[in-house]
Structure 1
Amino acid sequence: MPIPDFQATMLPLLQHLADGNEHDNAETHQALSRMFGLTEEEQQQLLPSGKAKIFTNRLAWAKSYLKRFGLIANPSRGAYAITAKGLSLLQASPPRVDLKLLQSLDADAGNQTDAYTGPLLEESPCGNGPMDDPFSQIEQCHATLEQALQGELLSLVRRASPAFFERLVIDLLLKMGYGGSYTDAARTLGATGDGGVDGVINEDRLGLDTVYIQAKRWQDSTVGRPEIQKFVGALMGRHSSKGIFLTTSSFTKDAREYVAAIPYRIILIDGQTLTRYMIQYDVGVAVHTTYAIKRIAMDYFDQE
Structure 2
Amino acid sequence: MVMTIPKYNDLFNPLLKAMHNLGSSASISEQEEEVAKILGLSDEDITKIQYRNCTVFSNRLAWARHYLKRYGLLNNSVRGIWALTPEGRKTENVSKAKVDRFVKKLGSKSEDSVDGALNNDKEPEEIAWQNVLLEKIKAVSPDAFERLCQRLLREAGFTQVEVTGKSGDGGIDGKGIIRIGGLLSFPIIFQCKRYQGSVSASVVRDFRGAMIGRAEKGLILTTGTFSPDAKKEAKRDGAPPVDLVDGQALAEKLRELRLGLVIKQKTIEDISVDDDFFRTL
* TM-score, structure 1 normalization: 0.48
1:274 aligns to 2:253 (yes or no): no
Contact 2:194 2:222 in 1 (8 A): yes
Q: What's the secondary structure of 2:190's corresponding residue?
A: strand
> Cα deviation per residue 1:90-143 (whole Å; 9 max; x = unaligned)?
xxxxxxxxxxxxxxxxxxxxxxxxxxxxxx94532499xxxxxxxxxxxxxxx9
Find the residue that maps to 2:218 and give its secondary structure: strand
Q: 1:291 to 1:232 in 2, by over 3 A?
A: same
- Which residue matches 1:212? 189
Kindly state the Cα deviation for residue 267 of structure 1 after the two structures are TM-superposed: 0.6
Q: C-alpha separation between the residues in 2 aligned to 1:154 and 1:126? A: 28
- Indicate which of 150, 174, 179 corresponds to 1:170: 150
Call closer, same or farther: CA 1:275–1:56 in 2, change over 3 Å: closer
Q: Note closer, same or farther for the CA distance 1:52–1:246 as it changes in structure 2 (3 Å cut).
A: closer
| Identity value in percent | 26
**What does the per-residue CA deviation read over 1:58-110, in whole Å, with 9 as the maximum and x for residues that have no partner?**
9xxxxxxxxxxxxxxxxxxxxxxxxxxxxxxxxxxxxxxxxxxxxxxxxxxxx
Counting strand residues as a fraction of each chain, which structure ranks higher?
A: 2
State the SS of the aligned residue for 1:48: strand
Looking at structure 1, the residues matched to 220 and 243 of structure 2 have their Cα atoms a distance apart, in angstroms, of 6
Q: 1:152 Cα shift?
A: 0.3
1:189 aligns to 2:163 (yes or no): yes
**CA shift for structure 1 position 199:** 1.0
Distance 2:235 2:107 in 1: 44
For residues 228 and 152 of structure 1, the distance between their equivalents in structure 2, rounded to whole angstroms, comes to 27
CA distance in 2, matches of 1:168, 1:174: 10
Kindly tell me: are residues 287 and 126 of structure 1, through their superposed partners in 2, closer, same or farther at Cα, counting changes over 3 Å?
Answer: farther
Matches within 5 A, 1:67-78: none
Contact 1:166 1:190 in 2 (8 A): no
1:57 and 1:126 mapped to 2: Cα distance?
A: 26
Q: Which amino acid letter does the alignment assign opposite residue 288 of structure 1?
A: K
State how far apart, in whole Å, the 2-side matches of 1:293 and 1:203 are.
44
Aligned alpha-carbon RMSD (Å): 4.1
Q: Secondary structure at the match of 2:149?
A: helix
What secondary structure is seen at the aligned counterpart in 1 of 2:242?
A: strand
Give yes or no for the alignment of 1:47 onto 2:74: yes
What aligned pairs does 1:227-238 form with structure 2 within 5 A after superposition?
Answer: 227-238=203-214
**CA deviations over 1:255-294 (Å, ceiling 9, x no partner):** 1111121332211112222112212222111212333698
1:150 to 1:44, Cα distance in 2 relative to 1, 3 A: closer
Indicate the structure whose relative CO is greater, using CA pairs within 8 Å and at least 6 residues apart. 2
Is the 8 Å Cα contact of residues 145 and 192 (structure 2) preserved in structure 1? no
Corresponding residue number in structure 2 for 1:200: 175
Which residue is 2:129 aligned to?
A: 149
Cα 1:235/1:190, change in 2 over 3 Å: closer
Alignment gaps of 5+ in structure 2: 1-19, 26-72, 77-81, 91-103, 112-122, 271-281
* Equivalenced residues, count: 178
